[in-house]
Copies of this chain bind each other. A is one copy, B any other.
Amino acid sequence: MDYKEMAKQVKEAGALLAAADDGLRNEALLRIAGSLEAHREEIFAANRRDMERAGDLRASVKGRLKFDEHKLADVACGIRNLTQLPDPLSRVLFERELDEGLILSRVSCPIGVIGVIFEARPDALVQISSLCIKSGNGAILKGGSEAKETNRALFDVIMEAGTAAGLPDHFAALVEERAGVDEIIRCHEEIDLLIPRGSNEFVRYIMENSEIPVMGHAAGICHVYVDRDADLDKAIPIIVDAKTQYPAACNAAETLLLDEPVADEVMRRLQGAAPVDVTYIEARGEEDFCEYLDYKMTVLRVSGADEAIAHINRYGSHHTDAIITENEETAERFMTFVDSAGVYWNASTRFADGFRYGFGAEVGISTGKLPPRGPVGLDGLVTYKYKLRGNGHIVRDYAEGKKSFHFRDRS
Whether A337 pairs with B394 at a CB distance below 8 angstroms is no
Question: How many of A's residues come within 8 Å of B, CB to CB?
Answer: 70
Whether A392 pairs with B339 at a CB distance below 8 angstroms is no
Check if A38 is an interface residue, CB within 8 A of chain B.
no
Among B98, B237, B407, contact of A392 (Cβ-Cβ < 8 Å): B237
Check if A129 is an interface residue, CB within 8 A of chain B.
no
Whether A208 pairs with B211 at a CB distance below 8 angstroms is yes
Chain A 52-68 interface residues, beta-carbon cutoff 8 Å to B: none
Check if A370 is an interface residue, CB within 8 A of chain B.
yes
Q: How far apart are the CA atoms of A98 and B96 in the complex, in Å?
A: 34
Whether B358 pairs with A374 at a CB distance below 8 angstroms is no
B contact residues around A371 at 8 Å (CB): 371, 383-384
Chain A 190-218 interface residues, beta-carbon cutoff 8 Å to B: 192-193, 207-208, 211, 213
User: What's the nearest-Cβ distance from chain B to residue A250, in Å?
Assistant: 14
**With A369-B112, A373-B385, A385-B341 given, is the CB distance from A390 to B357 under 8 Å?**
no
Check if A45 is an interface residue, CB within 8 A of chain B.
no
User: What's the nearest-Cβ distance from chain B to residue A268, in Å?
Assistant: 19
**With A98-B358, A387-B335 given, is the CB distance from A245 to B396 under 8 Å?**
yes
Whether B386 pairs with A339 at a CB distance below 8 angstroms is no
Number of copies: 2
Check if A184 is an interface residue, CB within 8 A of chain B.
no
- Please name 28 pairs of A and B residues whose Cβ atoms are closer than 8 Å in the assembled complex, sorted by A: A96-B358, A98-B357, A111-B369, A111-B370, A213-B369, A233-B392, A234-B391, A234-B392, A237-B394, A238-B392, A238-B394, A240-B394, A241-B394, A245-B395, A245-B396, A340-B385, A341-B386, A343-B387, A343-B388, A344-B388, A344-B389, A345-B387, A345-B389, A346-B390, A356-B398, A356-B405, A373-B384, A373-B386
15 new A-B contacts, CB < 8 A, other than A19-B337, A96-B358, A241-B396, are: A15-B339, A104-B357, A104-B358, A111-B369, A234-B391, A246-B395, A344-B390, A345-B389, A347-B389, A351-B393, A358-B407, A370-B370, A371-B383, A373-B385, A375-B386
